[in-house]
Amino acid sequence: MNQLNMGLDIGYGQVKAYLEHPDNKIIKIFFPRIFAEAQGEAWKELRSADIYGIDGDRYILGEEALNYHKSIKTSDARDYVLHNSYWACFGKVLVDGGIYTGNNEPIRIKRLVTGIAPGHFDRQIIRDMKHKIRNGVEITWNNHFIKFSAEKVIILPQGAGTFFEAILTDDGTQIEPGTDKLLHGILDFGHRTIDYVLFDGKEFISDPHGLSEDSGVHVILNKLLEYTKNHYGYKGQNTEKFRPVLWGEKFLCKGQLIDLSGPLKNLAGKHIRQIEQDAKKRWETQLDDMYKIILCGGGAHLFSMIPDFLNENKTQIIIPADPGFSNATGFFRFAKMQERLEFLKSGKLKSDY
């Protein structure tokens, strides 16, 4: 299996993948980047769970990990992309997507495109990641052995995926030729960070300050946790349990379903106003020159709570249909564009592609 194209977005909060199944179906994979360690005494309780192992470490990943809160571990370090849990998440994508079929045949990905937050776009990290995946990663899934690698690896700044989703189709062709040469601003409202990214003529404009640390969706989740503690005596600690509240669901506390839409609107509104001021300050001289201002990330839908967000530039603002998935989608489309260019350079006619 060596013709697989994959767009992979493993962020601080969620794992998203957009890929081609061998039978030419497009598959989207999503799960929270939560992992519980299956070690020591806890191992006895975890035997019914799916266990991913790498280099002696064992993890339960995604939503299933929420069932084992005492064993949950977090990794918010800037080099988390080098940690074992990152590569275990990669393996889970292959299992959930049906790419791993149960045999021990190595999985070779043709083109892998993924991203790193702009402020963490470190050359050494990029080199280490490419070296790791090109040489192959070995993991176990329950009693199965999985080895996977990638032939061609492209690592882009987060936000680049959203840009390429906006200008390309799933087969790698341009949606509206010429608009790729215009200035685009990407505001990526992620779990832990907010990325402010500029693209001018397909070129990423590097900005060492284009990342706002500890300002993402988790700030709102933490405040919702604090609110329920103060008003309802809630004693839980896991902020992930509040994520459905962001999408309008009620919160279960002491056997009662609580409507937190009011507190959410208040807390999120204040946070988004701060983001607005930050965007104006960072992009003060560029806002009017932007063709599009694209709001993406897992928190992008919350911008609707403030209808006059960046009101003077409102006509330039777009929110993708699935803003949390836009980076993974764009990474995949970039891989298809590269595939298309390689076919054309090989001398094949466009109609033969």
CA distance 179 to 201: 8
pLDDT digits (tens, 9 = 90+) for 250-277: 999 999 999 999 999 999 999 999 999 9
3-state secondary structure of 17: strand
CA distance 197 to 116: 12
User: What topology does CATH give the domain 4-157?
Assistant: Nucleotidyltransferase; domain 5 (3.30.420)
3-state secondary structure of 172: coil
Q: Kindly state the percentage of the chain with pLDDT values over 90.
A: 63
H helices within the chain, ranges in order? 42-45, 84-96, 123-135, 160-167, 217-232, 261-282, 326-345
Residue 209 has a pLDDT of 57
Domain ranges of the chain: 4-157, 211-321
* pLDDT of 97 higher than 60: yes
- Confidence tier at 300 by pLDDT (50, 70, 90): very high
* pLDDT of 313 higher than 70: yes
Please give the DSSP secondary-structure letter assigned to residue 269: H
Please give the DSSP secondary-structure letter assigned to residue 174: B
| Beta-strand runs (E) in 40-180 | 52-54, 57-61, 72-73, 107-116, 137-141, 144-157
Q: Which residues of 102-112 are buried (b: 16+ CB within 10 A; e: fewer)?
A: eeeeebebbbb
CA distance 219 to 206: 26
Reference 260, options 247, 245, 271, 272; nearest CA is 245
pLDDT digits (tens, 9 = 90+) for 117-145: 776 677 888 899 999 999 999 999 998 99
Contact, 326 vs 296, CB < 8 A? yes
What single letter denotes the amino acid at residue 211?
L
* pLDDT of 211 higher than 80: no
Question: How would you class 34 by CB atoms within 10 Å of its CB: exposed for 0-12, middle for 13-18, buried for 19 or more?
Answer: buried
Task: Return the top range by mean pLDDT from 101-105, 212-216, 303-307.
Answer: 303-307
Mean pLDDT over the full length of the chain? 88
pLDDT digits (tens, 9 = 90+) for 166-191: 999 999 999 999 999 999 999 999 98
Cα dihedral sign for 290, 317, 167, 112? Answer: positive
Residue 351 has a pLDDT of 43
Average pLDDT rounded to a whole number, residues 288-315: 94
CA distance 48 to 41: 14
Residue 275 has a pLDDT of 94
Structure tokens at 173: 């062709």
Average pLDDT rounded to a whole number, residues 107-117: 92
3-state secondary structure of 27: strand
Average pLDDT rounded to a whole number, residues 292-308: 94
- Tell me if domain 4-157 and domain 211-321 are identical in fold: yes
Task: Residue count of the chain, please give it.
Answer: 353
Q: Please say whether the structural domain 211-321 has been given the CATH code 3.30.420.40.
A: yes
Structure tokens at 32: 């929270």
CA-only gyration radius of the chain, Å: 21
